[in-house]
Amino acid sequence: QQQVKQSPQSLIVQKGGIPIINCAYENTAFDYFPWYQQFPGKGPALLIAIRPDVSEKKEGRFTISFNKSAKQFSLHIMDSQPGDSATYFCAAGQGAQKLVFGQGTRLTINP
């Protein structure tokens, strides 16, 4: 019940495309769903987070879509750039405590 399943494992998109990364969770007690970006040799950095009382949240080029009934959420990156190439992790938790992370998606944006 603590798992967060993330897909795809890797994704290659042309510059300007819209990569979409999906996550599914099981624990209905989770109420905080962040996305983290990690570059090689660095720690994860928070990109955007959503709570289940809204179905969508946008911050700059990043959008989270949330489907509470399906227990799924996804990250969309608009107008993707080569600098967005990184590993992206979804996570879930209660009140941002003790986050459970997905396995990660290695995203490559080709110029």
Partner 1 sequence: DTGVSQDPRHKITKRGQNVTFRCDPISEHNRLYWYRQTLGQGPEFLTYFQNEAQLEKSRLLSDRFSAERPKGSFSTLEIQRTEQGDSAMYLCASSLFQGGTGELFFGEGSRLTVL
> What is the binding site for partner 1 (CB under 8 A)?
4, 6, 32, 34, 36, 41-46, 49, 89, 91, 95-104
Is the alpha carbon torsion for 93, 96, 109, 20 positive or negative?
A: positive
Q: Which is nearer to partner 1, 65 or 103 (CB)?
A: 103
Q: Which is nearer to partner 1, 36 or 109 (CB)?
A: 36
Q: At a CB cut-off of 8 Å and minimum separation 6, what does 42 contact? A: none
Q: Which is nearer to partner 1, 17 or 32 (CB)?
A: 32
Nearest approach, Cβ of residue 101 and partner 1 (Å): 3
Nearest approach, Cβ of residue 32 and partner 1 (Å): 7
What tokens were used for 85? 């190439």
Tell me the DSSP string of 52-108. TT-SEEEETTEEEEEETTTTEEEEEETT--GGG-EEEEEEEEETTEEEEE---EEEE
Nearest approach, Cβ of residue 85 and partner 1 (Å): 16
**Amino acid in position 63:** T
Nearest approach, Cβ of residue 37 and partner 1 (Å): 11
Q: Which is nearer to partner 1, 41 or 111 (CB)?
A: 41
